[in-house]
Amino acid sequence: MDKLLYVAMSGAKQAFATQAVINHNVANASTTGFRTDLHAMASRPIWGAGFPTRVNPLLVGNEWDRSTGALQTTGRDLDVAIRGAGFIAVQGRDGTEAYTRAGDLQLDAEGRLVTASGHPVLGQQGPIVIPANTGIQIGGDGTISIVAQGQGPETVSAIDRIKLVRPDVDRLTKGVDGLLRLPDGEAADADADAQLATGSIEASNVNIAEAMIDMILVARHYETQVRMMDVANENAGAAQRLVAPAG
C-alpha cells in the first residue's frame, strides 16, 4: 500500500509543477514575443540499496514552442518585429549575449535602446546608445538613423545597426528571464538576411484556448492523485484494524 501512496504523491507533485508551467504561459499570453514553455512527463526509477521498486514521474526538459506569434501593426517608431526566422540580440542581466523576439523597444534614462524588460539591445559594438535627437528611424535591416537636435530631416545619419541573428533554434535554451541563449555562452554571428518589420510587434505564441484546456486536465489529474492518497490511507487503516488484537 505504501507503493500506491508513493506513486500518488509523486504524481500529484508533478501535476502541481505542470500547472505552474501552464499558469506561467497564460500569464504571458499578452507579452510581446513570448515563447510558450512546453511540459512533458517521464518515468524515472528510484535507485538505491536493493532493487529499484519505485518509479517517480518527473517533469522533464526545458523546451519551448518554436512557432511564431502574429504580427501586430502599431505604427510606433521603436516597435520592430522579426520577419520570418531570426532574433534580436540583447544583453542579459548577467552580461551575456541572449536573444529575443520582443521588439517593443524604448529608450532608458541613459539613452540606451532597451527592450520592455530593460535588456539593452546590442549593436555592432555592444549596447546601442542613442544621442539626443529629434527623430529615430529603424530600417528593415536593423540600421538606426537619427536626425540631430536642431537639424532638418535632410541631415539624417546612421549611427548603429541592431544585431540580428539566425542561430540554429534547436541549440537555444530558454532561461528563467525568458531570453534564449546558445550553450556555453556562445555568441551567434550577425546575419544580414534577418529582416525587421518596423512599426510592428510580434505577439505571444501562447494558444490561450489550448492552455486553458490543459489547465483543466492537469487539475483533474491532480485531484485523482489526491483521491488515490486518500484511498491508500483508508486501506492502511482497514489493514491495521484487521491485524489488531481482539479485545
The reply to whether 86 falls in a domain is yes
Segments forming the whole domain that contains residue 82: 76-202
d(CA 66, CA 47): 35
Residues 38 and 134 in one domain: no
Query: pLDDT tens for residues 173-207?
Result: 999 899 999 999 899 999 999 999 999 999 999 99
> Same domain, yes or no, for 115 and 177?
yes
pLDDT tens for 48-79 read 676 666 677 777 767 899 999 999 999 999 99
Q: Is residue 71 part of a domain?
A: no
Q: Residue 70: inside a domain, yes or no?
A: no
Task: Return the closest-CA partner of residue 22 out of 176, 184, 213.
Answer: 213
Judgement on whether residues 103 and 152 belong to the same structural domain of the protein? yes
Residue 111 located in a structural domain: yes
Residues 226 and 152 in one domain: no
Burial of 158 (0-12, 13-18, 19+ CB in 10 A): exposed
Residue 222 lies in a domain: yes
Whether the per-residue pLDDT at 9 is higher than 70: the answer is yes
Number of domains in the chain: 2
Strand residue runs (E) in 61-122: 71-73, 80-83, 87-91, 97-100, 106-107, 113-114
Relative to beta strand 173-174, strand 180-181 is: antiparallel
Q: Which strands form 157-161's sheet, in the order they lie side by side?
A: 133-138, 143-148, 157-161
DSSP annotation of 181 reads E
Residue 16 lies in a domain: yes
191 and 124 housed in the same domain: yes
232 shares its domain with 179: no
- Same domain, yes or no, for 80 and 198? yes
